[in-house]
Structure 1
Amino acid sequence: MIPGGGRSGTGLLPVHDDGRAADEFASAGAAAKVKLAKTTLKYGTLLPKTPVLIYNDARLLPQTYEGGQVVSTDIENLTLTGGHLDRFKLRDSTDSVSIVPDGYSGDKGGDFTYAGGDYKLGKNTRLSYFYGELENFYRQNFAGLQHDLPLGPGVLTGDLRYFSSNDAGRAYASKIDNDMLSGQLSYAVAGHTFGGGYQQLSGDAGLPYISGATVYSFSNVGIGKFIEEDEKTWMLSYGYDFAPVGVPGLTFMTRYLKGNDGKSDTNIKESERDTELAYVVQSGTFKGVGVKLRNYVYRSDFARGRDSNRIYFTYDIALW
């Protein structure tokens, strides 16, 4: 049980009608699985992870979905994924409800259908395409390209992502017309990873996504998402894995994002700096136990600025 005092509005615990956070919180789910050759069908409680829908696990319990999903790797170098979902449960809720997009306050909901594939083109190139549609809200196409280039003692990785989104059916969340193009270059050498990227949105709306979900973008960071209408964002990052200096399991990361020209009633800008230090025990009795420290500093013209310090304890258990 986690005490609820002072935790309302954080997305951590359910909130009562009087604004108080719940004193205790639990949630459970199960899925049936059938496997034929290299094709797996699951039905029940799911944790989808595709470019058009990624479940959110940034709180005590993850966001979950109800429905069916099939994943096939029968064709060499190709992974095909498809699914149909009709309910979801937010991270701070015990109720499964109809699926809605982020920011929608009406009483409608819809089913979410998705399909796509990832293809390995040789050793160093990966191609991806996915389609997703939230019934009577929006449809979305995604295309991605990743390439690794050995360069000197390290590897230069390029990652290009493109989303095209439009309203669908009855357009319960009003008109949607958005394109988002983003790219990132990173160079990894001797434990160091240096990164830089740029993202640009265009059209008559921000990027649509399922309420509470994680967005498949380089800008979906600790607090901000940087996906407002017409927003342009620059990103810089640095990470270090201490394994080359004899401390496997210890990692450090910091990044900075600056967004400009976004529209949310008026032109806006926002920025965020994130820092993370993490350690996972590599052997012995406590193998798999991890601790992670995170610091976020977020500033924005259209939302309240936030400073956040978080500590996470994790333990990985292999069930089968």
Structure 2
Amino acid sequence: MLNKRISLIALGMLSATQAMANDQAESKGFVEDSSLKVLLRNAYINRDYKDGNPDKAEWGQAAIGTFSSGFTQGTVGVGVDAFGLYALRLDGGKGRSGAGGIDFFKQGDSGNAADDLSKGGAAVKFRLSSTTLTYGDQMPALPVLNYDNSRLLPESYTGTLITSKEIKGLELNAGRFTAESRKSAEGRDSGGLKSINMLGGSYQFTEQFKAALYASDVEDVLKKQYVNANYVFPIDKDQSLTLDFNGYRTKLDDSYVRESGATGDDNKIWSLAATFATGPHSFTLAHQRSTGDSNLGYAYGGYQKDQGRVGDGGNTIYLANSYWSDFNAEDERSWQLGYGLDFRAFGIPGLSYNFAYVRGDNITTSTSEGGTEREIFNQFKYVVQSGPAKDLSVKVRSSILRVSQKSSEYNVSGNELRVFVDYPINIF
């Protein structure tokens, strides 16, 4: 059914005759609008697990090259996107690698992580008016399929994506992807994804109010719906209150329930965050709640079905209380107190700090009810503002996660440290 809907909306996009925008008319050409960028990334993650679990850590250096051509001129423009990825392992050999939450370099049969890995991909794109069809290897960033770029190398997917921006403020997306490239492994189909279909869009109703609605169908795994509403209340010149609601509803396929060993097949999870910004300060209060009968809670991303993973992108969790823990267990309720500071007001442009305290309770597992977890999150980030190293960023992030004995089946206690140094270089 979703295939038919995607076909219909794609046809409607491509045959639109009363377009309010026409990006293709502004095309300067295949070469003239092209760009080549290289991101040099040095990344380190260490997890000091508690309760007798062995510590895990990985460290690597990556080069991420991306090429995006312009579109040829004419009624229908044609272009090409391509990427090349390379990563070198600096630490995290046998005994230290293998944590699913780090996953810089996939372990081989010997238990050793790969010394390095390289891969690439390309896609061809066509544009009619302000509607673009892209086929090939891509990195989609949508609420129901969002590639993971929060580790050493990014994930990618192979398939077709249509994006339409014919009407000002309205973006429509329809897509089908049939292969997944794991961020820590070479080649495609490393996640065992059969296919994922998606459909949806977002609309900027006013300058203050924006909403989105998406749906996806991961073949033989689950169906998912997503809704978002975001409203900004201007208070004063440098003050505002932002309300952000995000929600997912998932329904597991019966075959997947049997294969993964899950109990129950449905989950609903939502979060509502209120952020008050005043000058360089921001204060956040958020609540998140998971309901349903699936012991997987809100399932997303990952590569192994027997671990409750579904292959729809490691960042497909547009929820307020997602840090080291996602606070997404069965029946879990969580609250967050957050704070942010922009040091520009104190004469240090480019430096920012974020803090969050999140506490979850009411966690249900196969053996207990009423479990709890809590996390203290801290992050400093600095972006160089000028000079030869302009745009180089250094991000230092730490989390202290404590999980009660009743919740040990769902999560594990530990201390985490992440250090990322990103240096983007624009070749042209």
TM-score (norm 2): 0.69
Per the alignment, do residues 119 and 166 of structure 1 end up closer, same or farther by CA in structure 2, a change over 3 Å counting? same
> Once structures 1 and 2 are overlaid, which stretch shifts more, 259-268 or 84-93?
259-268
Task: State the partner residue of 1:217.
Answer: 319
Q: After TM superposition, where is structure 1 displaced by more than 3 Å over at least 4 residues in a row?
A: 168-175, 317-320
Task: State the partner residue of 1:279.
Answer: 382
Per the alignment, do residues 31 and 319 of structure 1 end up closer, same or farther by CA in structure 2, a change over 3 Å counting? farther
Task: State the partner residue of 1:105.
Answer: none
Percent identity between matched residues is: 29
Per the alignment, do residues 319 and 169 of structure 1 end up closer, same or farther by CA in structure 2, a change over 3 Å counting? farther
2:235 pairs with 135, 147, 151, which one?
Answer: 151
Q: CA deviation at 1:98?
A: 6.5
Contact 2:375 2:399 in 1 (8 A): yes
1:43 pairs with 125, 131, 135, which one?
Answer: 135
Q: In 1, Cα distance between the equivalents of 2:402 and 2:219?
A: 34
Which structure 2 residue ranges, 5 or more long, are not aligned? 1-87, 303-312
Q: In 1, Cα distance between the equivalents of 2:427 and 2:136?
A: 19
> Once structures 1 and 2 are overlaid, which stretch shifts more, 167-176 or 250-259?
167-176
Please show how residues 124-139 of structure 1 align to structure 2 within 5 Å.
Answer: 124-139=208-223
User: Residue 116 of structure 2 aligns to a residue in which SS?
Assistant: coil
Task: State the partner residue of 1:87.
Answer: 179
Q: In 2, Cα distance between the equivalents of 1:27 and 1:274?
A: 33
Please show how residues 7-18 of structure 1 align to structure 2 within 5 Å.
Answer: 7-9=96-98, 10-18=102-110
**Are residues 1:165 and 2:250 paired?**
yes
Contact 1:135 1:169 in 2 (8 A): no
Contact 1:86 1:110 in 2 (8 A): yes
User: Residue 225 of structure 2 aligns to a residue in which SS?
Assistant: strand
Please show how residues 306-317 of structure 1 align to structure 2 within 5 Å.
Answer: 306-317=414-425
Task: State the partner residue of 1:304.
Answer: 412
* CA displacement 1:170-200 (0-9 Å, x = unmatched): 4454542111121000011111111010011
Task: State the partner residue of 2:288.
Answer: 199
**Are residues 1:235 and 2:336 paired?**
yes
Task: State the partner residue of 1:245.
Answer: 346
Which structure 1 residue ranges, 5 or more long, are not aligned? 101-108
Contact 2:286 2:321 in 1 (8 A): no
Q: Which amino acid counterpart does residue 126 of structure 1 have in structure 2?
A: K
Size of the aligned set, in residue pairs, is 311
Q: CA deviation at 1:311?
A: 1.1
Per the alignment, do residues 248 and 233 of structure 1 end up closer, same or farther by CA in structure 2, a change over 3 Å counting? same
Per the alignment, do residues 26 and 52 of structure 1 end up closer, same or farther by CA in structure 2, a change over 3 Å counting? same
Task: State the partner residue of 1:177.
Answer: 266
Per the alignment, do residues 230 and 32 of structure 1 end up closer, same or farther by CA in structure 2, a change over 3 Å counting? same
Please show how residues 69-148 of structure 1 align to structure 2 within 5 Å.
Answer: 69-97=161-189, 99=191, 109-148=193-232
Which structure is larger by alpha-carbon Rg, 1 or 2? 2
Q: In 1, Cα distance between the equivalents of 2:389 and 2:427?
A: 16
Q: CA deviation at 1:25?
A: 2.0
**Are residues 1:294 and 2:378 paired?**
no
* CA displacement 1:129-153 (0-9 Å, x = unmatched): 0001101211111111000001244
* CA displacement 1:73-131 (0-9 Å, x = unmatched): 1111101111111111222111322656xxxxxxxx53111111110011100011000
* CA displacement 1:294-318 (0-9 Å, x = unmatched): 1111122323212111211112234
1:53 pairs with 128, 142, 145, which one?
Answer: 145
Q: Which amino acid counterpart does residue 388 of structure 2 have in structure 1?
A: T
User: Residue 283 of structure 1 aligns to a residue in which SS?
Assistant: coil
Please show how residues 255-270 of structure 1 align to structure 2 within 5 Å.
Answer: 255-265=356-366, 266-267=368-369, 268-270=371-373
Q: In 2, Cα distance between the equivalents of 1:184 and 1:2?
A: 38
Q: CA deviation at 1:46?
A: 1.4
Q: Which amino acid counterpart does residue 93 of structure 2 have in structure 1?
A: G
Q: In 1, Cα distance between the equivalents of 2:427 and 2:230?
A: 32
Contact 1:164 1:178 in 2 (8 A): yes
Contact 1:242 1:250 in 2 (8 A): yes
Q: In 2, Cα distance between the equivalents of 1:159 and 1:319?
A: 37
Q: In 1, Cα distance between the equivalents of 2:133 and 2:427?
A: 19
Task: State the partner residue of 1:2.
Answer: 89
**Are residues 1:32 and 2:124 paired?**
yes
Q: Which amino acid counterpart does residue 208 of structure 1 have in structure 2?
A: A
Q: In 1, Cα distance between the equivalents of 2:374 and 2:147?
A: 24
Q: In 2, Cα distance between the equivalents of 1:110 and 1:259?
A: 34
User: Residue 227 of structure 2 aligns to a residue in which SS?
Assistant: strand
- Give the superposed CA RMSD: 1.8
Q: Which amino acid counterpart does residue 379 of structure 2 have in structure 1?
A: E
Contact 1:98 1:110 in 2 (8 A): no
Q: Which amino acid counterpart does residue 335 of structure 2 have in structure 1?
A: W
